[in-house]
Amino acid sequence: MKYVVVTGGVLSGLGKGVTASSIGVLLKSAGLRVTAIKIDPYVNSDAGTMSPFEHGEVFVLDDGGEADLDLGNYERFLDISLSKDNNITTGKVYSSVIEKERRGDYLGKTVQVVPHITDEIQNWIERVACVSSDSSSLPPDACVIELGGTVGDIESAPFVESLRQFQFRVGRENICFVHVSLVPVMGPVGEQKTKPTQHTVKELRGLGIIPDILVCRSEVPLIDETREKLSAFCHVSPEAVISAHDVVNIYHVPIMMDKQGVSKLLSNKLNFKLKKDRKLLDDWEIMANHVNSLEEIVTIAMVGKYTGLSDSYLSVIKALQHSSYSVGRKLIIDWIESNNLEDEVKVSNPELYEDSWRMLKEADGILVPGGFGSRGIEGKIKAAKYARENKVPYLGVCLGLQIATIEFCRNVLGIENANSAEFAEDTENPVIIFMPEISKTHMGGTMRLGTKSTPFLVDDCKIRRLYGNKSHVDERHRHRYEVNPELIEKIESAGLVFVGKDETGQRCEIMELKNHPYYVGTQYHPEFKSRPNRPSPPFLGLLKAACGIEI
Ligand code: GLN
């Protein structure tokens, strides 16, 4: 097993995840089967209890793991499927060690960070690295490990120490350390500053890890002088100082790294042969150029809750982008704060209200993504109503399906005050109810989570066609509420048909409105399985309909 460890310095948000994923692509194109592990030094067991507005989206895995969004990057870049064990957190490591301690596994010993926590981390990595993550079912040849946070943080210290020890466990010839840093450009002549990188490498080396490759994030390509200076001060050969300058789209990153010799560096360090056939990288280049070449615009209005962190909806954005590449359009997402479509704002801030409505009306398609809590719900219901009545393509994901159902019950079936028990616990007309099996006492990992099968119940409908007329779909879930089974018949007889239900035939999974160009909702989150060259079918449907392409 070959390991590539990606650490980061200076500041967070440098694109370590994209670097790690791109290295994975290079390894894969060299003919290796690649898997990935993300280490998150926070104390939460998983990302499921964290706010997406602070931490970025919660990425859901097949086995129901609620993980950091970087696992989504790995899945999309490497076309693999990971499990919850591919995301290691301080919370998980300590839980496991404490459980063993209670069981008596360390009987007689004082349980300590070194060696017990650090051994646990290393054992975990070795165990998970061998688990197949692609369709071959064969064990991987290489594992990319990304350490979250910044080297030097208190929280990440046990992980850095584990990785330091790990190089001796697996042999120096089987592990490559990549450190991602920042080279700011300052002053009137745009001088590339190396000091922050010098400091972070010094810190890393002080902890016993000598980087083999330095990936330097900067606005512009590194000049030779900078490269040489970094090489001299950071004890890395000049050719191992890689310039990760800004590029027009992320698909260029693996290509940019390959052109600077990263594949060669990896193959020398880890002692594997590079394949002559470069098809995978050639395909990436074609895709990267295709993305650049798109000109004609398609606009999708995203009606949700925002705090300015677009990472909160990362997979949804990716799924829209993948679909836009497929229909050959340049995607513009208009972010609409759903609150601003509500009547109250018409009074308090008429300009904002008008602007928001104008944006909604000018969009080619409307998307209501997943969400929790009652803020902005009425605005989303208004957006769903507008899309239904004006035959504007609409996709509702999870909460978006529930919203469309509430709207339909209120305005088509005339069920006054129809609502979800999530927003009005004692509502007289609960159209969306709490699922009976869900815990009311524990929040972490207790939703209906992960991949479940949804059989289609209707022979011919748009969404089934989009899925290639399959008998069923396997998509990922994350919810606590569902459409009230008692109302299904009534809703369906008025034209909103639940064309896919779960295997019991009770739980609504996919809805499609009759006599509408595209009005679809899914209780699951199709965005998590979208791939650059295999866009998620419900999203592709939205984009096709938004471009006037028949489905
Ligand atoms: N809040 C809703 C539920 O729990 C929708 C969840 C979601 O959109 N992921 O059912």
Percent pLDDT > 70 in the chain is 100
* Residue nearest (by alpha carbon) to ligand 1 atom 1: 372
Q: Looking at the CA of residue 400, tell me the nearest atom of ligand 1.
A: 8
Determine the distance separating the centroid of ligand 1 and the alpha carbon of 512, expressed in angstroms.
Answer: 19
Token readout for 522 is: 């899914």
Residue 398 appears among annotated catalytic residues? yes
3-class secondary structure for 506-522?
CCEEEEEECCCCCEEEE
Crossing angle for the helix pair 252-259 and 279-293, to the nearest 10 degrees: 130
Q: Is the CB of 478 under 6 A from ligand 1?
A: yes
Determine the distance separating the centroid of ligand 1 and the alpha carbon of 310, expressed in angstroms.
Answer: 19
Q: What pLDDT, on a 0 to 100 scale, did the predictor assign at position 91? A: 97
Q: Looking at the CA of residue 435, tell me the nearest atom of ligand 1.
A: 10
What is the overall mean pLDDT for the chain?
Answer: 95
Q: Looking at the CA of residue 432, tell me the nearest atom of ligand 1.
A: 10
Determine the distance separating the centroid of ligand 1 and the alpha carbon of 428, expressed in angstroms.
Answer: 20
Q: Is the CB of 160 under 6 A from ligand 1?
A: no
Is-contact 223 212, C-beta < 8 A?
Answer: no
Q: What pLDDT, on a 0 to 100 scale, did the predictor assign at position 137? A: 87
Q: What pLDDT, on a 0 to 100 scale, did the predictor assign at position 127? A: 97
Q: Is the CB of 422 under 6 A from ligand 1?
A: yes
**Does the pLDDT of residue 511 top 90, yes or no?**
yes
Determine the distance separating the centroid of ligand 1 and the alpha carbon of 398, expressed in angstroms.
Answer: 6
**Does the pLDDT of residue 216 top 70, yes or no?**
yes
Q: What pLDDT, on a 0 to 100 scale, did the predictor assign at position 190? A: 85
Determine the distance separating the centroid of ligand 1 and the alpha carbon of 481, expressed in angstroms.
Answer: 6
Is-contact 409 429, C-beta < 8 A?
Answer: yes
SS3 500: strand
Determine the distance separating the centroid of ligand 1 and the alpha carbon of 477, expressed in angstroms.
Answer: 9
Q: Is the CB of 524 under 6 A from ligand 1?
A: no
- Print burial letters for 446-485: b (CB count within 10 Å at least 16), e (below 16): ebbbbbbebebbeeebbbbebbeeeeebebbbbbbbbbbe
Q: What pLDDT, on a 0 to 100 scale, did the predictor assign at position 531? A: 96
Tally of CB atoms within 10 A around 99:
10
Q: Is the CB of 507 under 6 A from ligand 1?
A: no
Is-contact 215 230, C-beta < 8 A?
Answer: no
Query: Which of 74, 15, 56 lies closest to 218, judged by CA?
Result: 15
pTM for this one?
0.95
- Ligand 1 probe mutation, 375, 438, 440, 479, most atoms within 8 A of CB: 479
Q: Which of 264-268, 276-280, 347-351, 483-487 has the lowest mean pLDDT?
A: 276-280
Section 82-97 average pLDDT: 97
402-442 pLDDT, tens digit per residue, is: 999 999 999 999 999 999 999 999 999 999 999 989 998 99
Q: Looking at the CA of residue 447, tell me the nearest atom of ligand 1.
A: 4
Q: Looking at the CA of residue 371, tell me the nearest atom of ligand 1.
A: 8
- Ligand 1 probe mutation, 367, 374, 399, most atoms within 8 A of CB: 399
233-270 pLDDT, tens digit per residue, is: 999 999 999 999 999 999 999 999 999 999 999 999 99
The conformation of residue 523, written as its DSSP 8-state character, comes to S
User: How far apart, in whole angstroms, are the C-alpha atoms of residue 279 and residue 171?
Assistant: 31
Q: Looking at the CA of residue 422, tell me the nearest atom of ligand 1.
A: 1
The conformation of residue 312, written as its DSSP 8-state character, comes to G
Query: Which of 41, 81, 43, 42 lies closest to 65, judged by CA?
Result: 81
Q: What pLDDT, on a 0 to 100 scale, did the predictor assign at position 144? A: 98
Is-contact 460 496, C-beta < 8 A?
Answer: no
Read off the pLDDT band of 142 (50, 70, 90): very high
- Report how far apart, in Å, the C-alpha atoms of 109 and of each of 1, 101, 106, 115, 408 are: 32, 9, 6, 11, 63
Determine the distance separating the centroid of ligand 1 and the alpha carbon of 42, expressed in angstroms.
Answer: 25
3-class secondary structure for 335-394?
EEEHHHHCHHHHHHCHHHHHHHHHHHHHCCEEEECCCCCCCCHHHHHHHHHHHHHCCCCE
Q: Is the CB of 316 under 6 A from ligand 1?
A: no
244 forms bridges with which residues in the sheet?
217
Q: Is the CB of 371 under 6 A from ligand 1?
A: yes
Determine the distance separating the centroid of ligand 1 and the alpha carbon of 21, expressed in angstroms.
Answer: 29
Question: Which of the residues 322, 479, 516, 525 is marked catalytic?
Answer: 525
276-329 pLDDT, tens digit per residue, is: 888 999 999 999 999 999 999 999 999 998 767 778 999 999 999 999 999 999
Q: Is the CB of 9 under 6 A from ligand 1?
A: no
SS3 103: helix
Q: Is the CB of 476 under 6 A from ligand 1?
A: no
Question: Which of the residues 176, 216, 234, 398 is marked catalytic?
Answer: 398
Determine the distance separating the centroid of ligand 1 and the alpha carbon of 158, expressed in angstroms.
Answer: 35
User: How far apart, in whole angstroms, are the C-alpha atoms of residue 19 and residue 21?
Assistant: 5
Q: Looking at the CA of residue 373, tell me the nearest atom of ligand 1.
A: 1
Q: Is the CB of 399 under 6 A from ligand 1?
A: yes
* Residue nearest (by alpha carbon) to ligand 1 atom 8: 370
Read off the pLDDT band of 458 (50, 70, 90): very high
Kind plus residue range of the DSSP H or E element containing 366: strand 365-368
Q: What pLDDT, on a 0 to 100 scale, did the predictor assign at position 309? A: 73
- Ligand 1 probe mutation, 59, 395, 402, 528, most atoms within 8 A of CB: 402
* Residue nearest (by alpha carbon) to ligand 1 atom 9: 370
Q: What pLDDT, on a 0 to 100 scale, did the predictor assign at position 307? A: 66
Q: What pLDDT, on a 0 to 100 scale, did the predictor assign at position 324? A: 98
Longest dimension (CA), the chain: 74
Determine the distance separating the centroid of ligand 1 and the alpha carbon of 505, expressed in angstroms.
Answer: 20
**Does the pLDDT of residue 73 top 90, yes or no?**
yes
Is-contact 497 551, C-beta < 8 A?
Answer: no
Higher pLDDT, 373 or 299: 299
SS3 420: strand
